[in-house]
Amino acid sequence: DSGVTQTPKHLITATGQRVTLRCSPRSGDLSVYWYQQSLDQGLQFLIQYYNGEERAKGNILERFSAQQFPDLHSELNLSSLELGDSALYFCASSETGMNQETQYFGPGTRLLVL
Amino acid sequence: GENVEQHPSTLSVQEGDSAVIKCTYSDSASNYFPWYKQELGKRPQLIIDIRSNVGEKKDQRIAVTLNKTAKHFSLHITETQPEDSAVYFCAAADSWGKFQFGAGTQVVVTP
């Protein structure tokens, strides 16, 4: 157990809908990362937050947004969902968000868009 | 554009043999190179990492080498065991914390 929690574990929804994925980092970690893992795309870095502020951006679609709250938990919002958004979404956390720190991954949220 | 290429996509080895996975990156700003192991249905876990000021790092049966000039780095697993079977991902990150991952290598260790 990495200490990073994600909810929900599974999510089934329909195209066009909007969902919110939640992540709580390890105690003491200030930085949160979001990743998308699909069968044909591998592991894709989406976005990083540090202490409430966006720090780095990867291949995140405009239909997706994220934020980190004062209590350091983070939410990833996925809107206008398409079939291709079906994937496993991981959150990871690290202490200060410096790039040479170990990231600890949560168990993931499996999203299925029908 | 920035990307990380990883080879091979699948690797089958006999127990006790060595396994080597290679990655190349294009972003010269990359200075941190972690390797993750992901077992089926589980989260990725860091197994070893290397910074840009180091050419080689070893941890028991696992070693990583980095050639910054050629922009490639490799993972070496010696004396493979069935529990080494998993998908391995390489990644390259810059100082801003932007990560690029390889597509993964499915390693199968047969007894």
Contact by Cβ (8 Å): A74, A88: no
The mean pLDDT of chain B is: 92
The rounded percent of chain A whose pLDDT value lies above 90 is 79
Distance CA B58, CA B48 (A): 8
The minimal CB distance from B96 to the residues A2, A55, A90 is found for A55
The rounded percent of chain B whose pLDDT value lies above 90 is 78
The pLDDT confidence band at residue B38, using thresholds 50, 70 and 90, is very high
Range name among A39-43, A61-65, B14-18, B34-38 with the lowest pLDDT average = A39-43
* E strand segments, B1-111: 4-7, 10-14, 19-25, 32-38, 45-51, 56-59, 62-67, 72-77, 86-93, 99-101, 105-110
Q: Is the pLDDT of residue B95 over 90?
A: no
Helix (H) or strand (E) holding A77: strand A74-78
pLDDT digits (tens, 9 = 90+) for B42-84: 899 999 999 888 899 999 999 999 999 999 999 999 999 999 9
Handedness of CA B84, B49, B6, A1 (dihedral sign): positive
What is the structure's pLDDT at B1? Answer: 43
Check residue A51 and report its DSSP letter: T
The pLDDT confidence band at residue A101, using thresholds 50, 70 and 90, is confident
How far does A18 lie from chain B, in Å, by closest CA? Answer: 25
Coil, helix or strand at residue A79 = coil
Q: Cβ atoms within 10 A of the Cβ of A45, count?
A: 22
What is the structure's pLDDT at B2? Answer: 54
The pLDDT confidence band at residue B14, using thresholds 50, 70 and 90, is very high
Residues from chain A that touch B96, judged by Cβ atoms under 8 A, are 55-56, 99
Is B44 close to A102, i.e. CB distance below 8 A?
no
What is the structure's pLDDT at A97? Answer: 74
Written as six digits, the tokens of B57 are 């790092």
> Which of B3, B61, B62 lies closest to B35, judged by CA?
B62
The answer to whether residue A96 neighbours chain B at the CB level (below 8 Å) is no
Please compute the mean of the pLDDT values over residues B17-40 and round it to a whole number.
Answer: 94
Q: Is the pLDDT of residue A36 over 60?
A: yes
Distance CA B50, CA B55 (A): 8
What is the structure's pLDDT at A4? Answer: 96
- CA dist list (Å): B83 to A5, B6, B111: 25, 21, 10
Task: Tell me the one-letter amino acid at B93.
Answer: A
